[in-house]
């Protein structure tokens, strides 16, 4: 099994300039088949997280890559509480582009963080969403895209 993985890793090197990161499910920017034990490692990778309070306090959630047309349909982990109009702070890996919108369907006032890094692990910290255009307790839809250079 390990031999297969090694071969795949070598073949994957230099094959792409930027490899999209699939949500929270990819720890390293190298294309390779899933193997025993790998799922646990991947689950620890988090590229974009949001918090209910300023300065990363209160409830926290890691949100995978994707388009979220209405956060009313997403609940804080372990609760029945919708996430719309709740985000107050965020951490955004520099390999991600994140767009936050005040209204559903990607409308209303918005804030965007561009993708400015190629290697995962460097977070931009946004301790207070009231200081950006979208505002505190206002996010209702969003788009998250992350990609790592390989
Ligand atoms: Ca809040």
**pLDDT confidence bin for 23, thresholds 50/70/90:** low
31-35, 69-73, 105-109, range with the lowest pLDDT:
31-35
How many angstroms does the Cα of residue 53 sit away from the middle of ligand 1?
5
Return the bridge partners of 66, or none.
144
pLDDT of 21: 81
Whole-number Å distance, alpha carbon 21 to ligand 1 midpoint, is 27
pLDDT confidence band for 14 (50 / 70 / 90): very low
**91-137: per-residue pLDDT in tens?**
999 999 999 999 999 999 999 999 999 999 999 999 999 999 999 99
Residue with tokens 């290697």: 119
pLDDT at 19: 78
Between 26 and 130, where is the model more confident? 130
Domain boundaries, the chain: 43-149
CA of residue 119 to ligand 1 center, whole Å: 30
Nearest CA to 3 out of 35, 44, 49 is that of 35
Interval between CA 52 and ligand 1 midpoint (Å): 4
pTM (predicted TM-score): 0.76
How far, in whole angstroms, is CA 118 from its chain's centroid? Answer: 14
Q: Is pLDDT of 36 > 80?
A: no
* CA terminus-to-terminus distance, the chain: 23
Ligand 1: centre distance to CA 24 (Å): 23
What's the gap in Å between 87 CA and the centre of ligand 1?
A: 5
Query: 43-149 falls under which CATH superfamily?
Result: Crystallins (2.60.20.10)
The answer on pLDDT for 2 being more than 90 is no
């Amino acid at each position: 099994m390990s031999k297969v993985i090694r071969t795949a890793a070598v073949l994957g090197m230099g094959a792409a300039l930027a490899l999209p990161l699939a949500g929270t499910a990819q720890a390293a920017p190298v294309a390779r088949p899933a193997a025993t034990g790998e799922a646990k490692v991947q689950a620890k990778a988090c590229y974009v997280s949001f918090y209910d309070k300023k300065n990363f306090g209160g409830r926290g959630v890691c949100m995978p890559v994707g388009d979220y047309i209405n956060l009313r349909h997403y609940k804080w982990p372990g609760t029945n509480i919708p996430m719309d109009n709740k985000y107050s702070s965020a951490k955004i890996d520099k390999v991600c582009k994140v767009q936050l919108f005040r209204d559903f369907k990607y409308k209303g006032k918005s804030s965007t963080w561009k993708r400015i890094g190629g290697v995962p692990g460097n977070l931009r910290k946004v301790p207070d969403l009231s200081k950006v255009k979208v505002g505190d307790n206002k996010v209702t839809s969003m788009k998250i895209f992350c990609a790592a250079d390989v």
